[in-house]
């Protein structure tokens, strides 16, 4: 069997190679992380890009079995931030020279919701002189809605596949039309067709998930040719159906390490994409996101959600930064990123280099 040190020198990776990378010992792990860091520096540089995260509504029509804000969780106080509150958070990002924001919410497909997002996009562009980049993360929508929002100023979209294993997908989602694996795949395709830099990702350490599943997830990202990825550890939430399987979970720290290994292995597999160090990493380790940066990630999403709403956007236990205001969060982040040896890409969109190459190829004649 090949060693981790041998595998990391390769250009391409088989599923067996990826399984070896994900299952390595402590020593192997250090080799993998340091190679991923080197590959990141070479392919996308030393900069880390900020995306100010605005979780603007926790109202959701879906019932994903792992998520704390699923429709059936009646213990959640539902909120819709007002346009003024959302714009204020976005302007905070702009004034503080974050290049972009991410607008995230539960999944709604009503005409009123679609109009609200559309209006916000136009307003953010107008108020920031077109300077703020906008990523959306509002779930599955029709291709017309994706196109409409793109026209109005969104240019990146995050839609995690959650797992690329269809069978596992239905263990963590209700088996019905509103939670269709095929529909999710189709939505990812539509996002590309509509012109977005398209991001996906998975949760790591889910009950019933194997190392083989995770290695296959990485190959899935490569196959559908994503531009960006956001993935992090699965963290249980008491008021969700998946909580009953918590005895099947590995230790939180093991899930954390596995998530960092996934980031590192993906950086080797797709050197020029953007990879986010997810907030869930920080829920397990206070400097978890910085560890992600040291192992291949190049994007961080500081939370700019108005403080009163944060505790109600509780996807999982111990979601970090619940009490910190946006300013404090920024200061602590800045220092920690510098400690991790990276530079912050202030005022930059930090677009996916992979996307530029992918779309340049599309434009070539013949």
Given the rule CB under 6 A, which residues bind ligand SAM?
Answer: 66-67, 104, 106-107, 137, 139, 159-160, 162, 203, 234-235, 237, 280, 315-316
Identify residues 101-120 at the interface with ligand SF4 (CB under 6 A). 106-107
Smallest gap from Cβ 315 to ligand SAM, in A, equals: 4
What residues have CB less than 8 Å from 350, skipping those under 6 apart?
A: 47, 49, 99, 100, 133, 274, 298, 299
Give the bridge partners for 233, in sequence order.
204
DSSP secondary structure of 253-307:
HHHHHHHHHHHHHHHHHSTTSEEEE-HHHHHHSTTHHHHHHTTT--EE--B-S-H
Q: Which residue, 244, 108, 220, is CA-closest to 171?
A: 244
Q: Which residue, 339, 267, 219, is CA-closest to 41?
A: 267
- Encoding tokens for residue 351? 């677009």
Q: Which residue, 98, 183, 189, is CA-closest to 140?
A: 183
201 near ligand SF4, judged by CB under 6 A: no
* Smaller CB separation from ligand SAM, 20 or 303: 303
3-state SS, residue 51: strand
**Contacted entry of ligand SF4, ligand SAM, none for residue 279, CB cut-off 5 to 8 Å set by kind:** none
Smallest gap from Cβ 15 to ligand SF4, in A, equals: 27
DSSP state of 2: -
Choice from 18, 22, 54, 69 touching ligand SF4 (CB under 6 A): 69
**Contacted entry of ligand SAM, ligand SF4, none for residue 70, CB cut-off 5 to 8 Å set by kind:** ligand SF4
**Contacted entry of ligand SAM, ligand SF4, none for residue 340, CB cut-off 5 to 8 Å set by kind:** none
258 near ligand SF4, judged by CB under 6 A: no
60 near ligand SF4, judged by CB under 6 A: yes
* Smaller CB separation from ligand SF4, 94 or 157: 157
Where on the chain is the footprint of ligand SF4 (CB under 6 A)? 60, 62, 64, 67, 69-70, 106-107, 139
């Amino acid at each position: 069997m090949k060693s981790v040190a041998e595998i990391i020198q390769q250009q391409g990776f088989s599923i067996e190679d990826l399984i070896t990378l994900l299952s390595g010992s402590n020593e192997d792990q250090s080799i993998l992380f340091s190679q991923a860091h080197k590959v990141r520096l070479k392919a996308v540089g030393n900069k880390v890009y900020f995306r100010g995260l605005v979780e603007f509504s926790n109202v959701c029509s879906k019932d994903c079995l792992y998520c704390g804000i699923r429709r059936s969780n009646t213990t959640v106080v539902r909120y819709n931030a007002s346009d003024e509150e959302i714009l204020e958070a976005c302007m905070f990002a702009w004034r503080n020279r974050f290049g972009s924001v991410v607008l995230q919410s539960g999944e709604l497909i009503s005409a009123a919701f679609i109009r609200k997002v559309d209006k916000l996009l136009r307003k953010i562009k107008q108020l920031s002189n077109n300077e703020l980049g906008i990523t959306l993360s509002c779930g599955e929508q029709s291709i017309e809605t994706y196109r409409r929002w793109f026209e109005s100023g969104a240019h990146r979209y995050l839609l995690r596949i959650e797992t690329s294993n269809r069978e596992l997908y239905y263990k963590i989602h209700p088996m019905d039309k509103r939670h269709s694996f095929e529909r999710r795949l189709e939505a990812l395709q539509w996002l590309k067709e509509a012109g977005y830099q398209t991001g996906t990702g998975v949760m790591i350490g889910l009950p019933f998930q194997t190392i083989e599943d995770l290695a296959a997830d990485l190959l899935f990202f490569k196959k559908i040719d994503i531009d960006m990825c956001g993935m992090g550890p699965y963290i249980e939430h008491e008021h969700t159906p998946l909580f009953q399987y918590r005895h099947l979970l590995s230790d939180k720290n093991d899930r954390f390490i596995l998530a960092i290994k996934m980031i590192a292995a993906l950086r080797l597999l797709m050197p020029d994409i953007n990879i986010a160090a997810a907030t869930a990493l920080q829920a397990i380790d206070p400097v978890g996101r910085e560890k992600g940066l040291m192992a291949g990630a190049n994007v961080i999403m500081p939370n700019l959600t108005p403080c009163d709403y944060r505790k109600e956007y509780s996807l999982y236990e111990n979601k970090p930064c619940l009490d910190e205001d946006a300013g404090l969060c920024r200061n602590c982040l800045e220092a920690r990123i510098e400690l991790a040896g990276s530079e912050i890409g202030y005022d930059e969109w930090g677009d996916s280099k992979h996307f530029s190459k992918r779309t340049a190829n599309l434009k070539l004649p013949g």
